[in-house]
């Protein structure tokens, strides 16, 4: 991907998340989802109590806050969206959490001199919207202690009981065009990037039962709905989201939502 396209993608992503912070918080208050996913990712990384963590794509701090609250971690979060950071700073007052505006490819810009001693760099639900994900992981690796971990959790899959991807079926049943790219960086590409800077790469997954209610709430966050209907404005996207997931009612009893996780050690 050339630099001009990467810059353009980042501008769109940042703008989408700037418009998402209140929806994002309402979703998290209701489902406690990003916090739970973060704890799964922390466990997959073998994160120790009181670890020093770089939280890349920290949003408004749901991941940083739960790491601090549950594992006593010190967390430096960075995020492209100034509004998500501003909102996160209003929400989190614990001095062990610091949130900064920054780009995932340049964590050094927000780290104090000599502070390259992080135990882990985590990308909770963020790696798939970072166009230069491999470059970001290389930069994150340079901020870690020897033996430090890098981990990411990925965009959801909706799978039938036979393991078939159900997103395409939902679009087809609604006569809606399938998005050309639902994620900016594919899972395999992110995994390849992780393997380039880590040894002992391990993959795992968090499977949850299909829930139309959860999916509608998740994909009604403006930035998430953009991954389904990139060409439409938010009001149009919001109206289509319930229709899309209602189309999977025949599979609802047996389908699952799968969050893939991958971790490695430098």
Ligand X SMILES: C[S@@+](CC[C@H](N)C(=O)[O-])C[C@H]1O[C@@H](n2cnc3c(N)ncnc32)[C@H](O)[C@@H]1O
Report the nearest approach of ligand X to the CB of residue 103 (Å): 5
How many angstroms separate the Cα of 46 from the Cα of each of 69, 144, 147, 256, 263?
17, 15, 12, 26, 9
- Binding part of the chain for ligand X, among 57-65, 92-100, 175-183, 225-233 by CB under 6 A, reads 57-65
Q: 258: closest CA among 188, 205, 182?
A: 205
Closest CA to 141 of 193, 100, 190: 193
The yes or no reply on residue 103 touching ligand X (CB under 6 A) is yes
Rg (CA), the chain: 18
* 33 three-state secondary structure: helix
Shortest spacing between CB 6 and ligand X, in angstroms? 9
Smallest distance, Å, CB 231 to ligand X?
20
Distances, alpha carbon 220 to alpha carbons 30, 216, 226, 244, in Å: 13, 6, 9, 11
Of the residues 47, 130, 197, 255, which one makes contact with ligand X according to CB under 6 A: 130
CB of 77 to ligand X, least distance (A): 8
Pick between residue 135 and residue 173 the one whose CB is nearest to ligand X: 135
Residue placing its CB nearer to ligand X in the complex, 56 or 248: 56
Q: For residue 182, what are the CA distances in angstroms to 7, 137, 228?
A: 18, 21, 6
Q: Which two tokens stand for residue 250?
A: 């025949």
Q: In this complex, which beta carbon is closest to ligand X, that of residue 137 or of residue 247?
A: 137
- Map residues 32-51 to x or -, x wherever contact with ligand X holds by CB under 6 A: --x---x-------------
- Site residues for ligand X per CB under 6 A: 10, 13-14, 17, 34, 38, 57-59, 62-63, 78-81, 84, 103-104, 124-126, 129-130
């Amino acid at each position: 991907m050339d630099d001009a396209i990467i810059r353009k993608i980042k501008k769109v992503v940042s703008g989408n998340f700037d418009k998402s912070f209140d929806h994002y918080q309402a979703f998290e208050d209701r489902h406690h989802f990003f916090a739970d996913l973060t704890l799964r990712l922390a466990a997959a990384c073998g994160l120790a109590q009181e670890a020093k963590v770089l939280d890349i794509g920290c949003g408004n701090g749901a991941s940083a806050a739960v790491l601090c609250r549950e594992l006593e971690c010190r967390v430096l979060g960075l995020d492209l969206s100034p509004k998500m950071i501003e909102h996160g700073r209003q929400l989190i007052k614990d001095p062990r959490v610091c949130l900064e505006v920054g780009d995932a490819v340049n964590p050094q810009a927000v780290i104090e001199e000599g502070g390259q001693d992080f135990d882990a760099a985590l990308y909770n639900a963020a790696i798939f919207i970072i166009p230069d994900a491999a470059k970001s992981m290389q930069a994150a690796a340079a901020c870690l202690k020897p033996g430090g971990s890098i981990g990411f959790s990925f965009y959801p899959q909706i799978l039938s009981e036979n393991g078939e991807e159900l997103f395409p079926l939902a679009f087809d049943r609604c006569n809606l065009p399938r998005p050309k790219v639902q994620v900016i960086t594919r899972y395999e590409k992110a995994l390849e990037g992780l393997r380039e800077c880590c040894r002992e790469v391990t993959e795992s997954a968090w499977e949850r039962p299909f829930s139309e209610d959860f999916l509608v709430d998740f994909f009604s966050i403006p930035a998430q709905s953009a991954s389904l209907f990139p060409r439409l404005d938010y009001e149009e996207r919001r109206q289509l989201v319930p229709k899309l997931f209602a189309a999977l009612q025949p599979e609802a009893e047996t389908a699952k939502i799968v969050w893939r996780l991958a971790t490695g050690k430098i």
